[in-house]
Amino acid sequence: MEFFVVSLLNGSIYGLLLFMVSAGLTLIFGMMGVLNFAHTSFYMVGAYLAYSLQKYTGYWPAIVIAPILVGLIGAFGERYMLRRVHQYGHGHQLLLTFGVSFIITEVIKLFYGNYPVDYRVPEALNFSAFSIFGTNYPFYRLLIGATSLLMFALIYLLLTRTRVGIVVRSAIYKPRMGEALGHNVPMVFMGVFAVGAGLAGLAGAVAGAFYTTNPNMALELGVLVFVVVVVGGLGSLGGAMLSSLIIGLVSSFAVGIDWSLADLFSLVGMGDWARTTGGLLTLKVSSMAATIPFLLMLLVLLIRPSGLMGNRE
């Protein structure tokens, strides 16, 4: 019971963190059709900016200012780099953003070094929310989860219940009509990209204090964020939330499971044969925890290529 409850809590929070990072990428692709390989680099920049700012402004102002600065960086990149290759398709976009991600990583190493920085949870927030099975559960984990849920609600309401959302959707699906109505479509695109980058920066600013802030943090989540977006369905905000939670829970439970195929064969009296054979038959689930999200992606693409909640078109 303890394993189930703790894994459920940790998996849910980890899944919500994945959504925080992938929400901006989902928004950018859903609105603009841009696959931004440098998205998790904005996540890393948000963490480092918050770390630097909190020394002078304190924690909460840094959490607010850092995503705004990351959003401005994203707006600059869209206006002066990405916009120039947008017409050539996804290949050029991926190559450009792939190069930008390397540049950002090297700049981070240049200023902060090739090692983790001392970005910690502030003392005012470093306490346990409750005790479960004799273990104190950190309040900051719940704060990360609450921030993710709030982010999801605000994005959904913004896109579906406000005039801004109507303008954005019209600029995406009917750009010429949007221009005829007086809307600056390129400016809308730049704004969407800036907001997507800012959301990644917010995720980094909040999560960087709890998890390790280091020059490899973008690489650690980079591929997994794309898995989340693909499994959920490219451009689907609800799909990103669903796939984030699924992947977070599956990864959390898998880490604590020491079963193997040999254990299953033991149920029919073939356990000794399986252990003697070795190989995949003795490979434990816990040792495959990092691989399971990719297996899940493969399974979803085989059954439903558009993703769990993606558009079939």
Q: DSSP letter string over 242-311?
A: HHHHHHHHHHHHHHT----HHHHHHTTT-HHHHHHH-GGGG--GGGGTTTHHHHHHHHHHHH-TT-SS--
State the 10-residue block means of pLDDT for the chain, 313 residues long. Answer: 81 91 83 81 95 92 95 92 81 88 93 90 86 82 92 86 74 67 77 90 92 88 86 84 91 80 72 70 75 89 84 56
Q: What is the model's pLDDT at position 222?
A: 80
Cα distances from 233 to residues 43, 75, 85, 199, 220, in angstroms, run: 21, 25, 24, 19, 22
Q: What is the model's pLDDT at position 34?
A: 77
- Start-to-end C-alpha separation, the chain: 44
Q: What is the model's pLDDT at position 110?
A: 93
Q: What is the model's pLDDT at position 173?
A: 63
Amino acid at 114: N
Three-class SS of residue 133?
A: coil
Bridging pattern class, strands 135-138 and 128-132: antiparallel
- Within 8 A by CB and 6+ apart from 281, the residues are 260, 261, 262, 265, 274, 275
Q: What is the model's pLDDT at position 148?
A: 92
Q: What is the model's pLDDT at position 199?
A: 92
Q: What is the model's pLDDT at position 197?
A: 92
Q: What is the model's pLDDT at position 150?
A: 93
Three-class SS of residue 138?
A: strand
Q: What is the model's pLDDT at position 181?
A: 67
Rounded distance between C-alpha atoms, residue 67 and residue 83, angstroms: 22
- The CB density around residue 17, as the number of other CB atoms within 10 Å, is 23
For residue 312, which phi and psi values (nearest 5 degrees)? -75, -20
Cα distances from 301 to residues 122, 227, 251, 306, in angstroms, run: 42, 11, 19, 7
Q: What is the model's pLDDT at position 59?
A: 92
Whose CA is closest to 199, among 174, 178, 224, 225?
Answer: 225
